[in-house]
Structure 1
């Protein structure tokens, strides 16, 4: 079959794409930014589109032309500068499903989520439920799959957060009052998609993909800690009253493009729990979803995972520290403008040239300090910080070489900041 996979480079979508290719199907994958995905999965035909803009059936017809089936693995946790939950998960999906019905493309697999109901507390769940209901009303051979907490080799969103929590030194922090959680291995989800596409399970049905056992969040985090090879640590239940300010900050950072899993939607989901009923899937002959500990045994656990867990914890501090360093540097220069210019004029630089150099440095400091806090601009800002530091040191060496011997480290102190910017650049990718 020729199959269109939406969100083909995401946590679930990439596993689905790989499984379908292994099964001999031709895959057409669609996503908003496919540059990296094209290199990772050259076997697929890639289409670069923003799903949020495909809100009419007519927009989908050229994309589904020639396909025998469609799999939707796309999803958006929460609204942001580039993300519109309703547009991606509801409006665009309704248009897609109508286009399939109009084109006679009968087989559609919708990857939803357990807990997706019309009265759910989050837009994420309500829009998933709305799309599920719209698909269910159409005369198509549809299947709706509702995974629990998906465990995958890919570290993104909740899976990244679990690795980070499990890597916290000395303690194991978890949100107090969290609901029960049922997990599923991403390979089980991919296999369920394949079975649905190939007609191995009954269509026009919805199936929860979850293990039988439900776990507390502390048990899941402790299992991840053991999987990473860290020493056991005391579990500290952090009251939700203390978690909410962190969540509010993360919601604010979401407006700058940072997709933290600690936003309000995730807090509500953790509070409500992640549970479903695996019996309908089992009754139709679906393979049993892998349990928590068996899933972890299927995942790699090497130094790469341990590095990731610790660095994920440090990434906000690295970016925030760089922003603070450059903003404060710019503000100090602005408040002490004459003193800064005097450093140059005392060494023979003309007044106008010295003032222009100081003013340019202040603007650069403030712009880069602000820019690195914007997710889309962060890599460019980190590069500019490195280049700006090297240019500053080169110019300073020519104009005021004696400051290399300054006991306060006027030049030397900039080198660690440049190295930290290099680390931030290395951590820029989120997928």
Structure 2
């Protein structure tokens, strides 16, 4: 049984490749840095839990022992707290190629349509550099360059399309000149299998894409219709400056660990157009890819699709609201601690408890407000908010029970915040 290893095996394309190769008779293993994400794939395959950019040439030689095919489906959209484009797209490929130089192994590289060393984004430039290293240094290789991948899994660009198409009542007109081609993720996986089986000659560089071309507003309209939403009431145009500002905010969040598909790299790529030449793949002997209409027909939208689209919009709003509420709560207390202390003093709370309670609570509020914005801590911060809110409620029953009957409802209003914290904890996946 031939052996294949998929780098980034739990990503959108990687997991589809794992499944397709396994169905085609390969003994498949995956490589990635997250054991939790690997487990979520749900396949009984061997996993090598390593951070791919940190693997040395010697590490690769050990990993490649007995391997017939390496599929590189790893990658990152933009530099951030957890991602280094140069490391993952260039350095890792160089070490892999060096390790495989004397081995009978085929490397199938998942690149991207439109890559170029002079491209407008670092993503495309570093991908192009990695492709060049592979094509000039490896003995047996195939480079596949998909366009915008559409999948049953909601991740990255596919999640963004679902969310944008799910906006209630409106369908903003944005990137109106952008020309986009799509490809079904299973067609990408099928191309990987054909390459892994040796049915595609070594040295092939091919775009994996449908023939049809869509402008971005029409693409969103098709996604909206597929999801089953009513036609939008309004389609307001979005100024380019607002789109750019959104991208800059998403870039900043990238340094807090968030991998938003609204970062400037994605927006620039969409604005430039995502196009490929399907003939490069078919002339190499590959099977034709399905059109977007055919892809969507294979993926009937369900209630879960619609709920995901709306939840994807609601989640960042919930996180932002909680961060703002907790930060302001702590800062307002620190600006005027005397007022907060007077509430406890008037209710005969022991004097030695007042200052630690007020200042400790304020600092805890601020830490939780910052913590929920830091991606690795978001779920923990949401639980912390639930716990601290519960302490406030319990403490108020003993120290200030009269506040529960206050017409402004200061204690009752804690309950919606707790509910919002619980929603964030439930919706944010640990990765």
TM normalised by structure 2 equals 0.97
How far did 1:268 drift?
1.1
Match of 1:60 in 2: 60
Match of 1:46 in 2: 47
Structure 1 stretches lacking a partner, 5+ long:
none
How far did 1:267 drift?
1.4
How far did 1:172 drift?
1.1
Q: Does residue 1:147 correspond to 2:141, yes or no?
A: no
In the aligned structure 1, how far is the partner of 2:213 from the partner of 2:281?
17
Structure 2 stretches lacking a partner, 5+ long:
none
**Secondary structure, counterpart of 2:70 in structure 1:** strand
Residue pair 2:204, 2:284 contacting (<8 A) in 1 also = no
Q: Does residue 1:79 correspond to 2:73, yes or no?
A: no
How far did 1:139 drift?
4.7
The Cα RMSD (Å) is 1.4
Q: Does residue 1:266 correspond to 2:257, yes or no?
A: no
In the aligned structure 2, how far is the partner of 1:277 from the partner of 1:242?
32
Match of 2:125 in 1: 126
In the aligned structure 2, how far is the partner of 1:116 from the partner of 1:36?
28
In the aligned structure 1, how far is the partner of 2:10 from the partner of 2:80?
20
1:307-335, CA deviations, whole angstroms, 9 ceiling, x for partnerless residues?
Answer: 11111111111000000111111122222
Length, aligned pairs only: 429
Q: Does residue 1:332 correspond to 2:327, yes or no?
A: no
Question: Which stretch of the first structure deviates more once superposed, 196-205 or 333-342?
Answer: 333-342
> Relative to structure 1, is the Cα distance of residues 139 and 344 closer, same or farther in structure 2, using a 3 angstrom cutoff?
closer
In the aligned structure 2, how far is the partner of 1:92 from the partner of 1:174?
39
Residue pair 1:151, 1:159 contacting (<8 A) in 2 also = yes
TM normalised by structure 1 equals 0.97
In the aligned structure 2, how far is the partner of 1:257 from the partner of 1:249?
13
In the aligned structure 2, how far is the partner of 1:174 from the partner of 1:12?
29
Residue pair 1:165, 1:174 contacting (<8 A) in 2 also = no
In the aligned structure 1, how far is the partner of 2:390 from the partner of 2:269?
46
Match of 1:176 in 2: 175
In the aligned structure 1, how far is the partner of 2:397 from the partner of 2:135?
70
Residue pair 2:181, 2:212 contacting (<8 A) in 1 also = yes
**Secondary structure, counterpart of 1:16 in structure 2:** helix
1:136-186, CA deviations, whole angstroms, 9 ceiling, x for partnerless residues?
Answer: 113522111000000001111111111111011122124234421111000
Residue pair 1:178, 1:270 contacting (<8 A) in 2 also = no
Question: Which stretch of the first structure deviates more once superposed, 400-409 or 156-165?
Answer: 400-409
> Relative to structure 1, is the Cα distance of residues 29 and 139 closer, same or farther in structure 2, using a 3 angstrom cutoff?
closer
Match of 2:163 in 1: 164
How far did 1:280 drift?
2.2
Residue pair 1:156, 1:430 contacting (<8 A) in 2 also = no
Match of 1:384 in 2: 384
Q: Does residue 1:358 correspond to 2:358, yes or no?
A: yes
1:262-314, CA deviations, whole angstroms, 9 ceiling, x for partnerless residues?
Answer: 11101110111001111121123311111111111112411111011111111
**Secondary structure, counterpart of 1:144 in structure 2:** strand
In the aligned structure 2, how far is the partner of 1:174 from the partner of 1:142?
41
Residue pair 1:72, 1:109 contacting (<8 A) in 2 also = yes
> Relative to structure 1, is the Cα distance of residues 39 and 180 closer, same or farther in structure 2, using a 3 angstrom cutoff?
closer
Question: Which stretch of the first structure deviates more once superposed, 339-348 or 221-230?
Answer: 339-348
Residue pair 2:176, 2:215 contacting (<8 A) in 1 also = no
Match of 2:229 in 1: 230
Q: How does 1:214-229 map to 2 (within 5 A)?
A: 214-229=213-228
Residue pair 1:176, 1:237 contacting (<8 A) in 2 also = no
1:19-52, CA deviations, whole angstroms, 9 ceiling, x for partnerless residues?
Answer: 1111121111001102232253341100111112
Match of 2:137 in 1: 138
1:54-113, CA deviations, whole angstroms, 9 ceiling, x for partnerless residues?
Answer: 2x42231122222111000001000001100110011111111111113x1331100000
In the aligned structure 1, how far is the partner of 2:66 from the partner of 2:201?
24
Residue pair 2:175, 2:217 contacting (<8 A) in 1 also = no
> Relative to structure 1, is the Cα distance of residues 280 and 166 closer, same or farther in structure 2, using a 3 angstrom cutoff?
same
1:207-243, CA deviations, whole angstroms, 9 ceiling, x for partnerless residues?
Answer: 1101111110011101100010001224433232221
Match of 1:105 in 2: 104
In the aligned structure 2, how far is the partner of 1:60 from the partner of 1:372?
37
